[in-house]
Chains A and B, each alone.
Chain A
Amino acid sequence: MGDIVVLLKPALNPEMIRGTQDGSVDFDYMPLKLSDIDRNAVEEAVMLRDQYFKGSKIYSISVVTWGPASKRDKDVKMAVQEGLAKGVDEAYIVEDDSIVPGDPVTTASAIVAVIRKFGLKPDLILAGEATIDGFSGQVAGRVAVKLGLPYVSFARKVELKGNSIVAERDVEDYVEVVEAPLPAVVSVTREINAPRPPTLVQIRMASRKPQHMVKLSDLEGVVTPKRRLAAARVLAVKRKQMIIEGKTPEETADKLLDALASEGVIKA
């Protein structure tokens, strides 16, 4: 009892954004990395396992949504490897060019198909509240409803009590403590923990852990709507970028206030 599944996405790294000449995002040249908030999810999985169910296993599932798969292979392996180094025991990677570019409909159905196909029986499925590329935060909810499991979103604190999970949900205006029976799906926020970097030994051991590559033909019930690649343009907010300098701080302050007054944003 007590296995955990954690959803880890190799996401486009926004810091490495590249534009083409016409200003559109050059997806082909953007590397993938383990999505930041998924790092918190895997950290929480390890802490919960160590605290409540020692000896049980942590599985991770990653669906490759940015392709072509052959070109992304290295980035994907690195992201998954990071999870394994942090304490995941076995990884499942769904890599198939026919679902690229992926979308949440496909991703959620592929995750559910992996869980069913490989007979995973998790008591807990953990995910980050959203991924850093799309940031729409919908995969965990989709997985929960497809599996018929209770869903607790935006958890910033999680404890187990008997056969239930007690979580603090972080909503805009309030914090809500909820209790849900296990098995359950939980999405976590960045505030839930401070992820520890894996040790060298952990990193070395990670390469020996099983990584199962999964093709769509291995899976049943994956929904693949025909998605085109959305047109995305690099957001260029035009700012003046004027550096204000003066001989004294007073002079700099005055020049700044003059500029703001001439913009009409203050009356000084």
Chain B
Amino acid sequence: MPTSMVVGSSEDDIAEALTVARQLGDAVIVAYGNVNTGSLAEYGHKVYHVKADDPESVFLAVKQVYDEVKPSLVVAPTNKNLKDALSRLSGLYDLPMATEVFNVKVSGSSASYTRGFLSGRALEDDQVPLPAVLLIAARKVPRAQKSQAKGEVVELQASPAVKIIERRPKERGGVNIETAELIVSVGRGFRSKEDLKLAFELAEALGAQIGCSRPIAADLKWLGEDHWVGLSGHKVAPRLYVAIGISGAPQHLAGITDAKVVVAINNDKSAPIFKNCDYGVVADLYQFVPVLTKRVKERLHR
């Protein structure tokens, strides 16, 4: 009897979750949406597939497989639709559920893990009895290997009560900030949308992507949400993160804990970002950033 169930909508997500799940032995896969089930079957586990990708359909499919397999562990990536779908599964059977976990260790009776806590200002080491549901943090776990055997593929149907009327893709600035090596990030210190060009010019000179704090994407909408860094935005791990006109609220810092080097440019020497950066420049961004850009151009491109 398989002891774990893995849920996901992309091969990357599923392969990472499998690494955690295989600690307990055999697993089944519940894949949803538009995925290549043939490729997934090559991991050697039985694949259940539901075409729909709304959280209610995913919940209904997951519940069906859960009832059949009765796994001790459910592993999935952390994202909004899976928080929705798996919180319902957890609620139905009163299972403990934890999100954005890493360092997961599973034994026969319990799972231990680490996760961010208190808006990213603390880490908690927790342990839950099995059966449990774990949503793992992205890219903190290696991918599982494919196997010789090919798993069977079973198609599932779901009929949700919530009706989808329309779906519009979000405007994408063409960035994938989570994998960017260099990031120039902008905050409320910029007085207008036009002024962001100072940061764009620096980013271009460095070959960096543009990131931003929440107000820039959520309130002012000067940039698309794919640029948004932080607790409720994207977690980034660049070599270099340059925070310009960003105060350094804990919810912003929660997104940059994995950055190698953090540079802060801010005109308020008591801004919390200066306690959370490697190199700080206390200056008016309007004066300093153009000079920095000019020197980068001269030094990098001469």
Contacts and interface: CB of A to CB of B under 8 A. Distances in A.
Contacts of B125: 230-233
B250 A14 contact: yes
Given A146-B91, A153-B84, A176 B54 contact: yes
A174 B170 contact: yes
A196 interface: no
A151 B56 contact: yes
A177 B277 CA distance: 40
A17 B83 CA distance: 26
A151 B84 contact: yes
Contacts of B294: 253
Contacts of B86: 138, 141
A47 interface: no
Interface of B: 54-56, 59, 79-81, 83-92, 94-100, 116-127, 129, 161-170, 172, 182, 206, 218, 231-232, 239-240, 250, 253, 257, 260-263, 269, 274-283, 287-288, 291-292, 294-296, 299-300
A179 B162 contact: yes
B281 A244 contact: yes
A254 B297 CA distance: 12
Contacts of B122: 14, 17, 25, 232-235
A132 B230 CA distance: 13
B84 A108 contact: no
A157 to B, nearest CB: 12
B231 A172 contact: no
B118 A172 contact: no
A173 B91 CA distance: 26
B97 to A, nearest CB: 5
9 contacts: A14-B121, A136-B99, A138-B87, A142-B91, A151-B84, A153-B80, A154-B84, A190-B218, A266-B206
A174 to B, nearest CB: 5
Given A14-B250, A143-B91, A172 B117 contact: no
Given A174-B169, A241-B274, A260 B279 contact: yes
Given A136-B99, A141-B91, A190-B218, A243 B163 contact: no
Contacts of B278: 239-242, 263
Nearest to A231: B125
A172 B80 contact: yes
B118 A180 contact: no
A160 to B, nearest CB: 14
Contacts of A133: 117-119
B170 A173 contact: yes
Interface residues of A, number: 77
Interface of A is mostly: mixed
B87 A142 contact: yes
A103 B118 contact: no
Nearest to B168: A175
B61 to A, nearest CB: 15
A142 B88 contact: yes
Contacts of A257: 292, 295-296, 299
Contacts of A189: 232
Given A104-B96, A109-B94, A239-B278, 16 more contacts: A14-B120, A138-B91, A141-B84, A141-B87, A141-B88, A172-B80, A174-B168, A177-B165, A179-B165, A234-B122, A237-B257, A239-B277, A241-B280, A243-B281, A257-B295, A260-B261
Contacts of A268: 296, 299-300
Of A176, A181, A223, A250, the most chain B CB neighbours within 10 A belong to: A176
Q: Which 4 A-B pairs have the closest CB atoms?
A: A142-B91, A141-B87, A138-B87, A268-B299
Contacts of B257: 235, 237
B168 A232 contact: no
Interface in A157-174: 166, 170-174
Interface in A201-254: 223, 225, 228, 230-235, 237, 239-245, 249-250, 252-254
Contacts of A179: 162-163, 165
Contact of A105 (B85, B96, B123): B96
Given A243-B274, A244-B279, A232 B118 contact: yes
B99 A152 contact: no
A227 to B, nearest CB: 9
A176 B94 CA distance: 29
B120 A178 contact: no
Contacts of A266: 182, 206, 240, 296, 300
B91 A108 contact: yes
Given A244-B279, A265-B239, A232 B123 contact: yes
A265 B56 CA distance: 45
Nearest to B101: A136
Contacts of A135: 99, 116-117, 119, 231
